[in-house]
Structure 1
Amino acid sequence: MAVVRLEALRKEYPDGHVAVADATLEIADGELLVLVGPSGCGKTTLLRMIAGLEPITSGTLSIGGRVMNEVPPKDRDIAMVFQNYALYPHMTVAENLGFGLRLRGQHRHEVARRVREVARLLEIEPWLEARPVALSGGQQQRVALGRALVRNPRVFLLDEPLSNLDARLRLSMRLEIARLHRRLGATMIYVTHDQIEAMTLGQRIVMLDGGVIQQIDTPMNLYRRPANRFVAGFLGSPAMNFLPGTLRLADGWALDGPHGVLTLPGVAGWPASWDRREVTLGVRPEDLHPVDAPGLHTLSARVEVVEPVGNEVFLNLRTGGKPLVVRLPPRTLPEPGALVHLAPDPSMLHLFDAASGERIGD
């Protein structure tokens, strides 16, 4: 396996569009790193630059200490799994698995040994003589993974490999990839737009937006301490609630906004210079708790839609013209149109500058 380093890596097209802006990061030997963000954020372009399928405008890419900027893809010792499985329909599963090794001149006995080994690992031995058309989507995805594994490369690149599967298969294949990574100890770079995949698979996550890296951290650190409003709003399902307003300092801190005046108990250490600062208060759906009566520390909101999903319930509400979502355990629930009162957990508040969107405070 190998360490992958990106130093100020940039991709700019002739029309001036910057797809990746000066990306700098290091993927450790044996790490599973996830690149995540909305469509068009630059994550696939960045992966293709690492693969050698997209020319680098500027910056340096190295794999295992060797600069790869001008090295052809076939000489980078990487394997890539694409969104579409790209299996050869006229070949059997065994032939698909061994095709890359045969191209590299491996002896047929070594090819057969590696194919059997990977087929056993992925539990696809019964399908070795079948052709791709006879396989389900999950089975084809295993073959695509196997074709990468059989080469034993230094780095695996996976570009939204589960996006064509249904929800049940996505879950099982996600677990399969996590098990494979633990078993192989391989360096893997995984691209997805699905935050659940990112949170459950990644040892670290790189959040991208508009070609710019927004934050790099472990999944739970990203969730608990997002660097800006974009990261806060992208990670989490349902998404974080945002309340715009002006900070006021009197006998304590309060947020004055369309929702009314919300006092913020338990907040300490904020500088007095923040008084009258325009901010956005973020609070996750699980950190808003219903209370019986309104008060200084509560929000009042009107129920619009109740979504029971089994082991939990989402209340979709509106306060001061702004949407609000609350996550609750199953219980007796208010009817649409009812007025509810909510107390945010003061230890779980997130504060962002209204202009820049950057996190402020602890």
Structure 2
Amino acid sequence: MATVSLEQVRKVYPNGHVGVEEASFTIKDGELLVLVGPSGCGKTTLLRMIAGLESISSGTLRIGERVVNDVAPKDRDIAMVFQNYALYPHMTVAENLGFGLHLRGKRKEEIDRRVREAARVLELEQRLDARPAALSGGQRQRVALGRALVREPKVFLLDEPLSNLDAKLRLTMRVEIARLHRQLGTTTVYVTHDQVEAMTLGERIVVLDGGRIQQIDTPMNLYARPANLFVAAFLGSPAMNLLRGRLHRENGWQLMLPNATLPLSLFPGQGATLETWNECEIVLGVRPEDLQPAAPHAAALEAQVEVIEPVGNEVFLNLRFGDQRIVSRVPPQQMPAPSSSLHLGFHPERLHFFDAESGARIE
């Protein structure tokens, strides 16, 4: 196992496109760190630079104490699992698991020991003689993981390994990967575009957009205190409600929206924070679970019900407030009829404020 350290790592392509802009962070020994962001944000490019499959334009990359900028992939002591299983169809599970070790000249006894151990951990012991065509999607993914596992590398790199699986199997494999990591304790870098995967798997998450790191933190800190509008909107399902308007103070604080006025009952201390933003454009963020039905006298706003989405253990209310669409997440209960009005209130201490121009969080 080893730490992985990036210091102002940058990737610029020959056409001038900047794939990654000065990425700096350290992955701790034994940590599972997730790189997450939309397509084209630079997460896979960053992973490929760690693997040695993509050259580094500038900056320093260390695995352990060794600078590996110019070290060949095979000499970095890493193992990578790709989105495509890439199994050899003519080989059995055992042969697929041990093939990389065979190429590295390991003794047969050593290969057999590692293959048996990987098969035990991944619950593939009964399938060692089967070929990939006879396996389910989840079993094939476990073989791909096992092929990396038998290497006993310092660092695991996983590039969207679950994206080809159906929803139920993705959930199962997420649990498998989390269990494996706890059991093995190997330093792991996991790339995904799925924010649910990121939140459930990562000990820490690096959020990227446009090749730049937007925020690095634990899943719950990212959710509770997003650094900017991008992180606020990207993490969370349904996404955070974002209301853009002018902050105004007259008999209390108000947010002046294009076709509505929203009174703000602020938490002690929030008012002092917002003093310098009076009469400025801001964005107010409210998580769907923090926007709840309320009695008319205690409500902050009145919205029109458009669509009701019951999903079993909770209900999503899609509403319209002025010309803004908002979502409330509520427990199962007697729901109002579509097109009816609903009074809603929010928890003042859970409001988020952002600079409308820069997108940065207002602290």
Letter in 2 for 1:121: V
* 1:284 lines up with 2:287 in the alignment: yes
Aligned to 1:90: 90
Q: CA deviation at 1:146?
A: 0.3
In 2, Cα distance between equivalents of 1:259 and 1:31: 48
Aligned to 1:19: 19
Letter in 2 for 1:312: E
In 2, Cα distance between equivalents of 1:298 and 1:244: 16
Aligned to 1:125: 125
Letter in 1 for 2:172: S
- Residue by residue, what CA displacement relative to the aligned partner does 1:276-314 show, whole Å, maximum 9, x if unpaired? 01000000000011123266x511211111000001100
CA contact (8 A) 1:83 1:161 kept: yes
Q: How does 1:116-195 map to 2 (within 5 A)?
A: 116-195=116-195
Aligned to 1:239: 239
Letter in 1 for 2:83: Q
CA contact (8 A) 1:259 1:299 kept: no
* 1:359 lines up with 2:356 in the alignment: no
- Residue by residue, what CA displacement relative to the aligned partner does 1:122-167 show, whole Å, maximum 9, x if unpaired? 1001111111111110000000000000010000000000111111
Aligned to 1:305: 307
Q: How does 1:220-231 map to 2 (within 5 A)?
A: 220-231=220-231
* 1:346 lines up with 2:315 in the alignment: no
Gaps of 5+ in 2: none
Q: CA deviation at 1:266?
A: 3.1
Aligned to 2:103: 103
**Cα pair distance change 1:71/1:232, threshold 3 Å:** same
Gaps of 5+ in 1: none
Letter in 2 for 1:344: F
- Residue by residue, what CA displacement relative to the aligned partner does 1:249-295 show, whole Å, maximum 9, x if unpaired? 23332211135222222333225321101000000000011123266
In 2, Cα distance between equivalents of 1:152 and 1:272: 56
Q: CA deviation at 1:320?
A: 1.6
CA contact (8 A) 1:35 1:192 kept: yes
Q: How does 1:321-336 map to 2 (within 5 A)?
A: 321-336=323-338
CA contact (8 A) 1:5 1:63 kept: yes
In 2, Cα distance between equivalents of 1:137 and 1:217: 32
In 1, Cα distance between equivalents of 2:292 and 2:159: 39
Letter in 2 for 1:277: C
- Residue by residue, what CA displacement relative to the aligned partner does 1:179-199 show, whole Å, maximum 9, x if unpaired? 111111110000001111100
In 2, Cα distance between equivalents of 1:292 and 1:324: 19
**3-state secondary structure, aligned to 1:96:** helix
Q: How does 1:243-282 map to 2 (within 5 A)?
A: 243-258=243-258, 260-267=260-267, 268=269, 269-282=272-285
Q: Post-superposition, which runs of at least 4 consecutive aligned residues in structure 1 deviate over 6 A?
A: none
* 1:315 lines up with 2:317 in the alignment: yes
**3-state secondary structure, aligned to 2:354:** strand
In 1, Cα distance between equivalents of 2:59 and 2:341: 55
CA contact (8 A) 2:162 2:170 kept: yes
In 1, Cα distance between equivalents of 2:65 and 2:342: 59
Q: Which TM-score applies when normalising by structure 1?
A: 0.98
CA contact (8 A) 2:228 2:354 kept: yes
In 1, Cα distance between equivalents of 2:344 and 2:66: 56
**3-state secondary structure, aligned to 1:99:** helix
Identity of aligned residues (%): 68
Letter in 2 for 1:64: G
Query: Which segment is superposed worse, 263-272 or 216-225?
Result: 263-272
- Residue by residue, what CA displacement relative to the aligned partner does 1:210-234 show, whole Å, maximum 9, x if unpaired? 0000000000000000000000000
* 1:63 lines up with 2:63 in the alignment: yes
Aligned residues, how many?
A: 360
**Cα pair distance change 1:180/1:19, threshold 3 Å:** same
Q: CA deviation at 1:322?
A: 1.2
CA RMSD for the aligned pairs?
1.1
- Residue by residue, what CA displacement relative to the aligned partner does 1:25-47 show, whole Å, maximum 9, x if unpaired? 00000000000001110000100
CA contact (8 A) 2:264 2:300 kept: no
In 2, Cα distance between equivalents of 1:121 and 1:282: 44
